[in-house]
Amino acid sequence: MNRKRSIALYRRALQLIPGGVNSPVRAFKAIGIPPLFIDRAKGSKIWDVDGNAYIDYVGSWGPMIMGHAHPKILTALKKTAPKGTSFGAPTSLEIELANEVRKAFPSMEMVRMVSSGTEAVMSAIRVARGYTGRDKILKFEGCYHGHGDSLLVKAGSGAATFGIPNSFGVPEDLARHTLTAPYNDLERVRILANQFPEQIACIIVEPIAGNMGAIPPGKGFLEGLRRICDERGIVLLFDEVITGFRVAYGGAQELYGIQADLTCLGKIIGGGLPVGAYGGMEKMMEKVAPVGGVYQAGTLSGNPMAMAAGIATLEILKTKKVYKDLEKKTVYLAERICESADERSVPVAVNQVTGMLTLFFTEGPVRDYATAKKSDTKRFARFFIEMMEQGIYLPPSQFEAWFISLAHTQKDLDKTIEACNTAFKKI
């Protein structure tokens, strides 16, 4: 495929933007080739600036659950835009979307709209600290919760080791308040809870990990976290920025029957526009300004364009058939990929939950960050390039989830499997 225009744009971008991109994973560094520059998208497909078409499994990293440029979302935007794109003042749309979110997530008795998932998580952690009067947080290795300072921490060795900064610019004095444990390891969580009694404000977790690849919770893991939090007076914070309205209408909380104290949402609730939200029990959310002393503000919070797109999105997703259709497509794709890899003796593990999957180049099983890191990233890079040459656009990292949309057709899925067959032969 000819990608001359993408390459030329990338070279120009390198002179103006750090790394030539506005978010690191877009740079294709793990693949070793220049990134694609996208011109347009429709349904399950995207087109780059050179006119090449691809079946898209990135979906703007999750929010395009109905596919790109859905007519009902475009109609909502066309209706809203002429009235003004931003006011920095309340609108009825904020109330309407907050009400729909609360009905889908009963644990979110009160909701605050923000402009991104990162902002939602940073704010929710501040609420947890303000509510409990404690400083420490506990997160899990490989779970990404945005680029807030407290969260850019990698695990130290041993259960009692404090985290150290995983990014320049994060003070060690701040990072020491972040404890880490392996995902799906309840025993490590218990050890930390015992070692730091009445010091941990919240346990934050992706209830289904999506940022070390798709990794579902092990049996009893989420239930165990709920018990530990109840016993220790710790706030249980679910980061459902990816899973909210994707794996079920009520997210992972509906899927597994576990309620969080605080929840963070993003991506889908804006129909693809920049948006996030956090919420939880009324007694916690009433700590947020202007009612309480936990300060958080945002000029573009509740942006009318994002609210209108979100309302249109959730109206479509209310139909139960939506998630049955999504699950059917996801299972079909996962099973056929495994069969293809087995036929060609390519060692892989495929994890899938409704609407998201990851193909790991390792024998598996993959249940945490340590096992995910056993993947053959060089082989993944070769696989990615082969798939792209055949018109399949995947997340450019071994440690990201693929996203299936309602717009993906059976023809799309079968073409993807054929491409996998060819790629497995070559890598």
DSSP string across 318-362: TSTHHHHHHHHHHHHHHHHHHHHHHHTT---EEEEETTEEEEESS
Per-residue pLDDT of 274-291, as tens digits, reads 999 999 999 999 999 999
% of residues, the chain, pLDDT over 90: 90
CATH number for the domain formed by residue range(s) 71-317: 3.40.640.10
Strands, DSSP E only, in 75-120?
110-114
pTM of the shown model: 0.94
Is 239 an annotated catalytic residue?
yes
Calpha distance 4→346 (Å, rounded): 33
Residues 6+ apart with CB under 8 A from 193: 138, 200, 228, 232, 234
Statement: residue 161 has pLDDT above 50: no
Q: Which of 48, 185, 239, 412 is catalytic?
A: 239
Longest dimension (CA), the chain: 61
**How sure is the predictor about 76, in pLDDT bands with cuts at 50, 70 and 90?**
very high
**How sure is the predictor about 166, in pLDDT bands with cuts at 50, 70 and 90?**
low
CATH assignment of 4-69+320-426, among 3.30.70.990, 3.20.20.80, 3.90.1150.10, 1.10.3720.10: 3.90.1150.10
> What's the burial of 238, exposed, middle or buried (CB within 10 Å: 0-12/13-18/19+)?
buried
Please list the alpha-helical segments (H only) found in 139-185.
Answer: 172-175
Statement: residue 52 has pLDDT above 70: yes
The residues facing 113 across adjacent strands are 277
Q: Which of 267, 323, 368, 412 is catalytic?
A: 267
Question: What pLDDT sits at residue 172?
Answer: 78
Task: Give how far Cα 103 sits from Cα of 106, 241, 251, Å.
Answer: 6, 17, 12
Question: What pLDDT sits at residue 7?
Answer: 97
Q: Which of 10, 57, 144, 369 is catalytic?
A: 144
Sorted by where each begins, the domain ranges of the chain are 4-69+320-426, 71-317
